[in-house]
Structure 1
Amino acid sequence: MGSRRRDLRALAAAVAALLLSCSFRGASASSFGDNFEITGAEDHVKTSADGQTWYLYLDNKTGVGFQTKERYLFGWFSMKLKLVGNDSAGVVTAYYMCSDVDAAPQRDELDFEFLGNRTGQPYIIQTNVYHNGVGGREMRHSLWFDPTADFHTYAILWNAKHIV
């Protein structure tokens, strides 16, 4: 984003049932709590026995999310997600990068938003890029695979010259 330096934090907001699996390079003994903090209802997060899969869900009162404890200038950020199946119309599951929240409304942000759907309809990912608080770069992508059938990796490469 030009010559400005931005500290970024990886965030995932789960407002739908969502399964995710992460691994930490060089930190095999790391736990979820070592690397992330829960935002929202802490009782809406369950962890697998091996600590590598986290189950996030919502009910009719609340959802849940989490964010990294560390901040990053640039990097390769990826997450393995398996979305909930069946009718999820009206629900959005998001995975995004955002500059310091205190910088709002002048924040920079990169979004992956998994839009809910009716059973049998294709799943859509909506992406967006914000610079200095201005978005307007929304794009919708119809998925050619079923994101509820298995884990799939979604990644962002962000460096001083490119966002991929």
Structure 2
Amino acid sequence: MEMRGSYPKILLLMVMVVVAAARDKDPSGFVTWNNNYYTTWGHQALVLNETSELHLTLDHNSGSGFESYSIYGSGSFNMRIKAPPQTKSTGVITSFYLRSKSSRPDELCFQILGNGRQYMLNTNMFMYGEGDKAQRFRLWFDPTKDYHSYRFLWNPHQLVFYVDDTPIRVYKKNPNTYYPAVQTMFMHGSVQNGSKIDPKQMPYTAKFQASKIDGCVTTFMGIDKCTDPKLWWNRKENWQLSSKERELYTNARKVYLDYDYCSDKKRYPKVPQECRSYG
């Protein structure tokens, strides 16, 4: 009789486990916002339907930003973003980035820049606290009309910036230059005022959808555990671009690259040493 009575309890426990798991991960492939991210500054983020999207607001008082609870040492990090509608004087910056917490941080960054008639996509890197490594692109779509994917692939061998599965920037590990493989990083998103904006158009709202996080969760000093080749993003086939990706990469840079600091001889008469590490 006691064993029969235990079945409902076991069944209830199983249901509770399933429900708890469902709260962390949505069947559509999106993660639950409040279990993975929190507002770090500015306006409290508006979360719609928990897993569908998050809105960040820029108004007369402030922009806003969020950060992941977890810290990562490698992985594939994808964020779907719909930028605020543009106006003639838009100076809104919508960002998705990975950043370490130290006095000399590493950072990988996508910035969707409002630029009057056209939005631009700026990519930047900080390596051990040194920034100004911008590569800027003309987008082949309107980022305000629909969601588009912005993804970092970060493993011990290469960093790749992807837009809708097209690689646009590649940084390879090189024994002669610094490579971000020492510091762990958090995921961030934000919307803020970059230069001048039209106050009559406020508030501006940037919309984010967070896909499933394929990242190695670790501790502040635990990046070594994230080099395991069993993790799919660390496998040998991800040490370099595939032939198809190489074709997409070459075309994207040929057609859409607007600025590359490595080619800016006015700012850098001597080509920065790390430019040899770009794929």
- State whether TM-score is above 0.5: yes
Q: TM-score, normalised by structure 1?
A: 0.75
Q: CA deviation at 1:86?
A: 2.6
Aligned match of 2:25 in 4, 24, 27?
Answer: 27
Unpaired runs of at least 5, structure 1? 1-23
More strand by share: 1
May I ask how many residue pairs the two structures share in their alignment?
134
Aligned partner (choices 144, 147, 151) of residue 147 of structure 2: 151
Structure 1, residues 43-87: CA drift from partner, whole Å, max 9, x if none?
A: 3x2222353111111110011110100000011001000011131
Q: Structure 1, residues 100-148: CA drift from partner, whole Å, max 9, x if none?
A: 2xx12x1111111111122xx2210111111110123211101011001
Q: Give 2:119's aligned residue.
A: 123
Runs of 4+ in 1 over 6 A off after TM superposition: none
Query: Where does residue 56 of structure 2 map in the other structure?
Result: 56
Larger % of helix: which?
Answer: 2
Task: Please give the secondary structure, in 1, of the residue aligned with 2:76.
Answer: strand
Among 95, 105, 113, the residue aligned to 1:107? 105
Could you tell me which residue of structure 2 aligns to residue 81 of structure 1? 81
Q: Distance in 2 between matches of 1:41 and 1:137?
A: 27
Q: Please report the TM-score for the alignment, with normalisation by the length of structure 2.
A: 0.45
Q: C-alpha separation between the residues in 1 aligned to 2:56 and 2:46?
A: 7
Q: Shift of residue 42 of structure 1?
A: 4.2
Structure 2: runs of 5+ lacking an equivalent: 1-21, 161-279
CA RMSD between the two structures? 2.0
Q: What residue identity is the alignment partner of 1:41?
A: G
Amino acid at match of 1:122: Q
Equivalent residue number for residue 12 of structure 1: none
